[in-house]
Structure 1
Amino acid sequence: MLGEKLKAQRMSLGLTQQEVADHLHVSRQTISNWEVGRNFPDIPMILSISDYYNISLDDLLKGDERFMDKMKKDAELVKRTNRRKIFDGVFIVLLSLTVLFAFIVSRIPDLPNQKLWGMLIVGIVFSFSIIRFFVVIPKDDKVSGKYAPLIIPKSFGVGWAINPYHPLGKVLLIGIFVAIEVLIFLG
């Protein structure tokens, strides 16, 4: 629908795809992709297109379900990214304080239950990282949610992770946590 409107407006103004592309500083192929509905322009580009074609945003965007779905997904991604940044900042502060606390505790020779302090520190860091996953990744996410496989790509960054939404993933994560705690206790 949006693509059809873009093409109709371009043609009514007697412009070629290349002329529009040159004005908007994109490739001709990008204009073609928009017009056939292969992909959509982002919001800043929609504003530029609206100005260039002299068509209101309301007229341009209304009625295109696919575009509106894309906008909703983009908004959710921005929210998730912002939540991740907040959690990552808190996690870095928490990790720094934990390392500082562990350093101080390790320098106190007569501290009772010194191994338990290490276990507590690992428990706090592990718990926070799991909570972060559940807050940042929606349960219904197809890539990392409850329908995703046991091993998933990291939500942000490079690498792989165990999916805590997966039933076996929960067992593995708890097992890893218990194994680390036992190693600290026995070490």
Structure 2
Amino acid sequence: MDFGEQIMSIRLENNLTQEQMASKLNVTRQAVSNWEGNRNLPDIEMLITISNVFHLSLDQLILGGENMSNIKEKLIRDGSETRRARLNLISIAVGAALLLFGFILILIKGASVEYIDEAGILHENFFLLPMGFLFIFGGLITFFITGFRHLILKLKNKKI
């Protein structure tokens, strides 16, 4: 039994129409219809809601039959996509921080005053310029690698 058949059997066992089941779950009738037709699968929060409303265990709901691999695959795929999205968000934040810090260092270098003191020693914060460019370069590399990883993943998913 696939997931669509599982949802339909739950609905019929409780003598509900698609509209009635949808109102119990606070979704549209089309959502229930899409689940039953295996056009869409519910997310994990909705699976928990379904199991609570109809007093089923998640194991029974997800693993109900031998051929329920589509929902298991979706849950596994959703988990890996969530981890990937979190990693991308962290990478983007790190890249933005590096860029910002690099620009701040260059601005400080531009606003600072170089002078020669009475002893003839030059006071200049020359190190800010290469450090600023290094941080900007690091931020751009971070963005490039994140985008490249995302592009490769998209291409890999298209082939599969």
Superposition TM-score, scaled by structure 2 size? 0.74
3 and 114 in structure 1: CA distance in 2 versus 1, 3 angstrom threshold = closer
User: Which of residues 102, 125, 143 is equivalent to 1:98?
Assistant: 102
Of 41-50 and 100-109, more deviation after overlay is shown by: 100-109
**Residue 18 of structure 2 is aligned to residue 17 of structure 1:** yes
1:99-136 CA-to-partner distances (Å, cap 9, x unmatched) read 111112234576679986775455333222223335x6
Any conservation in 2 of the 1:137–1:145 contact (CA below 8 Å)? no
Q: Which residue of 2 aligns with 1:168?
A: none
Q: Which residue of 1 aligns with 2:143?
A: 129
Say what the alpha-carbon RMSD is for the aligned residues: 2.9
Alignment-mate amino acid for residue 92 of structure 2: D
Residues 19 and 4 (structure 1), Cα distance of their counterparts in 2 relative to 1, 3 Å cut: same
2:77 equivalent in structure 1: 73
Unaligned runs of 5+ in 1: 149-187
What letter corresponds to residue 144 of structure 2 in structure 1?
I
Higher relative contact order (CA 8 A, sep 6+): 2
> Which residue of 2 is the match for residue 3 of structure 1?
4
Which structure's CA Rg is the greater one?
A: 2
What is the rounded CA distance, in whole Å, between the counterparts of 2:157 and 2:71 in structure 1? Answer: 26
How far the C-alpha of 1:88 sits from its partner, in A, is 2.1
1:48 aligns with 2:61: no
Aligned 8 A contact 2:41 2:71 in 1: yes
Mapped to 1, the partners of 2:11 and 2:54 lie a distance apart of 7
CA distance in 2, matches of 1:8, 1:114: 68
Q: Compute the displacement of 1:69 (Å).
A: 1.4
Q: Give the distance between the partners of 1:147 and 1:36, measured in 2 at CA.
A: 24
Question: Any unmatched runs of 5+ in structure 2?
Answer: 115-123
Counterpart of 1:179 in structure 2 is none
| Alpha-carbon separation, structure 1, partners of 2:127 and 2:52 | 69
What code does the residue aligned with 1:126 have?
A: L
